[in-house]
Structure formats: C-alpha cells, structure tokens
Structure 1
C-alpha cells in the first residue's frame, strides 16, 4: 500500500450522515453529468447515484471545512475471495474546491482507513488518463500505473467527435 501524508491539517474527515446526502449529490452530480472521469452512466438519477456511492459494501467519508462538505470518498474491497484484502477507492471533489489539496487529504485518509479496515493493499481500477491531475496525484502518493487500456473509456469529447 502506498504511504501517503495528508496535504494539510485543514478539514475534518468524518463518516457520512443522511444529512450529507444533498451535499454529496451536489458534488457528484456535475461529475456524473460531465462523464469525463467516472465510469458510470451520465444520466444516472440522484437516487441511483446515492445508492451506488453509499452502498453497504463501501465505507464512505466526507471532507468538511467550516461546515461545508468539499469532497466525498469511499473505500471498499476491490474483489471478493482471494482479492478481498485489496482495497479500492473513489473520490470526488466539489467543483469550487479543486486544486486546494482536498483530493490529496482524502487519498491520505483513504489509505489510513483501508489499513484500519484490514486491507493490505490498494488499487485504482479505472483512472481515466485524461484526468491528468488525478493521475499525477496518485503517483505522488506512491501509486504506480501498472497498465493502460487505450480506448477503454468512452470519453464524451472523443465519442462526440467520432474517434472511438
């Protein structure tokens, strides 16, 4: 598992409560609709998105500063059976909070949380290469790119130009 340090001391990482659902939806909806980074349907409803993001197989946390939720992440088992010791995680940062260290703090917290939950490793399954900030951050946090699947992600900008 990668060793990571928090990007700063500001912000509270805490468990999600039902009162956070509106804030979580406000954070993930624009990312879902853009269709540029998450491998889920762009037309996903609020209920379906929250059900997926908050599903029982995930341990979900938010990063909150000054009473405002700036990001949300989950940790879950990447596989079952013989792969259940490897964690997987997903992160979304509020649009107004990008570039402020929120993703770095959530990544560091997710690594710690994965250890607390008993995971022995962590991998990301589907980081879109055009999400260069995420790729750079994960590498800075100690993760290594172990493979690429050209054309595997139907990026809306590429699909709309007939390139995929």
Structure 2
C-alpha cells in the first residue's frame, strides 16, 4: 500500500513538472503547443505574447527566444515571407548580414495542416547581436521561432535550448473565435 502511494505521488510530481513547462499559443487559425526549455522562464511583454529568457543572472536584454503565429486569409508562402522580412531589415539596417542557417527538425512533416516546408535564416547585426529566425509554413499560418543573443558566444551557448524549444513545437489547425 505504501509503495502504491509513493508511485501515485511520483506520477503526480512528474505530471506537474511536465505541465508546468507546457504552453499553448492560439490564433484564429492555429494552435501551437510547446515546452519551455529547462532553465528558461516566460516573461511578460506587450510586444510579443510568448517570450522566454534564460533563468540566469545578468542576461542581456538582447538574449531571448519567442514563438509566434501569423494567420493569413490565403495560403502563405514562406519564401515570400522571408524575402519581405529580409528586405525590410536591409532597408532599416543596411549593414546587417543575412545568411541561410542549416538546421533540421523532424516535427514539421507534411500533414493535413503543415506543408512540410520550413527555413531558417541567421542575422548578424552591426552591434554583433545574432539571431536565427525559423519560419514554418502551414496552410493558413506562418509560425516563427526566434533565438536572439547579444553576441556569438551567447548564440552558441543557447542554440541547444532553441533546438529543444523547436523540437517540442506541435502546430495544429484551429478555428478559434474570441468573444
């Protein structure tokens, strides 16, 4: 009987730990479920609904990750979206360096909502800030995941956390109405 109580307590603690880190992000046409990586915490901001930062002392304001979904009335094209984003950044910051970033994920295969298409782009700003932008295409939504770091050292340090975050992402079709 005592071992059964310990077993139940163990599963409750595991469940609480699992669910405490799982987040759900919704839009009118999408539902994104993801897990916050270990040693990262969600912070409140008016600009981005889901923003996380490393849970460490003295972390730069330029070091964070986020996931965001943008719904469209027609099927979006990730290549056109990336081109528009890159052109906008080049107009604002002519010295920015933009390159493709080779990274692979198994969780974005084509299904009834995902197109199976995704691409990553790396940005290096004049102040040495580095970002990777992952763009995931669905039938109605562009989902972006970003790792931003103050410099290359922090970028390398947190790249595995970015992979952990993105590997946990599940994107589903939704018909969400807000009242």
With the length of structure 2 as denominator, give the TM-score of the two structures: 0.25
More strand by share: 2
- Hey, which of these two has a bigger chunk of helix by percent? 1
